[in-house]
Structure 1
Amino acid sequence: MILTSVGQQLLKIKPDRFIKVKNKGVLIESFDPEITKLTNNKDLSRLGLEVRLPEKVWPRLIFYNVPSSLSEKDVKDDENKYKCANCLRADKKDSNH
């Protein structure tokens, strides 16, 4: 729907992959440099869609099997101890982070 609202041919963008992300978002991966034109597209703005480049890149570390008894604050404190600002929390069986 996003690309058909603007016209994929008009922007000349070839998406490689679509990924659902949190907060009703969609990540569109493309090696086509023309994809950055979507950030300034007025048609998408009129549809109420916000388009921006991702703020984070792939994480340096991922912590697995984080106990569910550990609070989010504790996880962040441990993260800061190891200077790991870009860590992700994995959803595992005994985990709520």
Structure 2
Amino acid sequence: MAVRKTSPAHAQIIHAGTPDVIAQYEQSMAELEQIVARLEQGDATLEQSLADFERGTQLARQCEHALKAAEQRIDELTQPAETAPDRSTEPKSKPTMPPADAFFDV
């Protein structure tokens, strides 16, 4: 049996719906919400605000990446199989063209 190798990006897409990825996304979102709340209060020093902003940016990117991976996974799962052509949009019978001599006196 051959072992199928996957790229790290493809592996991440495959595992986009796993509990670990979902838990990590949820943790990142919770931390991001806390950071946003702290920044909105405006009580932090400039240094702390910059550190929070930097961390918030990292978390937002992680969440965005996880969402894109999940979206790609959903697209993969909902695409019709390539082996079975979709015949639902094909006409039942193909229109036939009358012979050329039907239009002209030959």
- TM-score, length-normalised on structure 2? 0.26
- TM-score, length-normalised on structure 1? 0.27
Greater RCO, 1 or 2 (C-alpha within 8 Å, sep 6+): 2
Higher share in strand: 1
